Amino acid sequence: MAAPEPREQHDPLEPFVEILQDHRTCRACGGEYLVTVTRSFQQDRKWAWSIEEQASRIPGRVTSKYGEVEQCTCQEEEIQEMSASFLTLLDRLVAQGWQVSFPHHHWIDYLDYLVGGVSSGRERRWYDPQLAKAKVLPLLDTDIDDNRNIVKGDMRYCWNERVGKGSIYSPGLSGGLSMRPVALTCAKETNR
């Protein structure tokens, strides 16, 4: 797939480097942080563009004209990750003494209802992971498609002990991780 052309005039025989500021969402806490993005554009002999991109975290606050933005306070070295089955991750949450919540996810959209029943409001509900495990365990014996069945396949858990927050992601349809978490986790004292 060809990369987009650089925005400025350049010598087509030399790489073109573009540096911009952007923001990203932390995979652990869900907050936003600023990055400097360095893009290197290069044309090949057939005049097709390729691009390499590197992002590095920089200090500062992410702002939005639409309201307050939750800021990430994680340091890269504090973020821990593991891949395991959802049931194993719930056992880990029990050992951590943390809670779990289920935000709306576009194809695994049944978890909050399955664990907590009908909700009359839009307020986030937090559950004991042992309760969540008891409620999802019967899914092992169902015919729900593997991509939609939370207990089949591995999930990726990203968390930060100091901040007391984490997120669980399912594999995406294209092979990477889904952009939206299927579950949020937090230490009981962090619960908001």
What predicted TM-score, i.e. pTM, was given to this entire model?
A: 0.80
Nearest Cα to Cα of residue 166 among 191, 136, 132: 191
Tell me the C-alpha distance between 53 and 15, whole Å.
Answer: 13
Phi, then psi, of 114 in degrees rounded to 5: -60, -40
Q: Show me where the domains of the chain are located.
A: 1-73, 76-187
pLDDT in the model for residue 132: 95
Tell me the C-alpha distance between 163 and 18, whole Å.
Answer: 34
Tell me the C-alpha distance between 31 and 115, whole Å.
Answer: 26
Q: For the chain, give the secondary structure using H, E and C.
A: CCCCCCCCCCCCCCCEEEEEEEEEECCCCCCEEEEEEEEEEEECCCCCEEEEEEEEEECCCCCCCCCCCCECCCCHHHCEEEEEEHHHHHHHHHHHCEEEECCCCCCCCCHHHHHHCCCCCCCCCCECHHHHHHHHHHHHHCCCCCCCCCCCCEEEEEEECCCCEEEEECECCCCCECCCCCEEEEECCCCC
In sequence order, the 6+-apart residues with CB closer than 8 A to the CB of 5 are: 41, 49
CB atoms within 10 A of CB 74: 20
pLDDT in the model for residue 89: 96
| Per-residue tens of pLDDT for the chain, all 192 residues | 445 555 666 666 677 888 899 999 999 999 999 999 998 888 777 777 788 889 999 999 999 889 899 999 999 999 999 999 999 999 999 999 999 999 987 778 888 888 988 877 778 899 999 999 999 999 888 776 666 788 888 899 999 999 999 999 988 766 677 788 999 999 987 655
pLDDT in the model for residue 15: 78
